[in-house]
């Protein structure tokens, strides 16, 4: 019997002038980064939450609480590797991850191939199991006003 499970994750971070911009494990040249307790990698956080949800575990805020100083400014790829380990230890395998980055600026598309490789390596899967798309919000809402970046992800796991 197949035990396919779907997970969904969503994250948002506001821009901050004193941080570097890290999305999908890639440092992207921009005059602002994202505000957060960790490196605020909004894409990785959405993917991690999708995977945790698929295997029935609490979200990354509960797994890696922002009140815990050990996670201050941590590289989100470290957290994603830990989530990948939780997926594996629960006897599930990642079938695929499909994610969308919502950002008015900077352009994300040139960085997507590197993001896919980095995320796949962190999750011990193939890059073709990771799909990442980018969109603007047509200048609507906080993303459109360039106040921050959002990301959404869904995943499928199988046992």
CATH of the domain at 144: 3.30.1330.50
For position 122, what pLDDT does the model report?
97
User: Model-level pTM?
Assistant: 0.96
| pLDDT tens sequence across 98-131 | 999 999 999 999 999 999 999 999 999 999 999 9
Looking only at the bridges linking them, the beta strands covering 26-28 and 33-34 are unpaired
Domain region containing 48: 5-158
Domain count, the chain: 1
In this prediction, residue 9 has a pLDDT band, given cuts at 50, 70 and 90, of: very high
Say yes or no to pLDDT of 2 above 80: no
For position 1, what pLDDT does the model report?
65
Round to whole Å and give the CA distance between 119 and 155.
13
Round to whole Å and give the CA distance between 156 and 96.
5
């Amino acid at each position: 019997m197949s035990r396919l499970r779907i997970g969904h994750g969503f994250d948002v971070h506001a821009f901050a002038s004193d941080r570097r911009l890290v999305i999908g494990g890639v440092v992207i040249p921009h005059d602002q980064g994202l505000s957060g307790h960790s490196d605020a990698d909004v894409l990785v956080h959405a993917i991690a939450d999708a995977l945790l949800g698929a295997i029935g575990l609490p979200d990354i805020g509960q797994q890696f609480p922002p009140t815990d100083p050990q996670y201050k400014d941590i590289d989100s790829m470290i957290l994603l590797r830990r989530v990948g380990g939780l997926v594996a230890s629960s006897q599930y395998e990642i079938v695929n991850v499909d994610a969308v980055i919502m950002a008015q600026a900077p352009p994300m598309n040139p960085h997507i191939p590197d993001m896919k490789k980095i995320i796949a390596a962190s999750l011990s899967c193939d890059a073709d199991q990771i799909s990442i798309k980018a969109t603007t919000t047509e200048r609507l809402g906080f993303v459109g006003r360039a106040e921050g970046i959002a990301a959404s992800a869904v995943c499928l796991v199988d046992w």
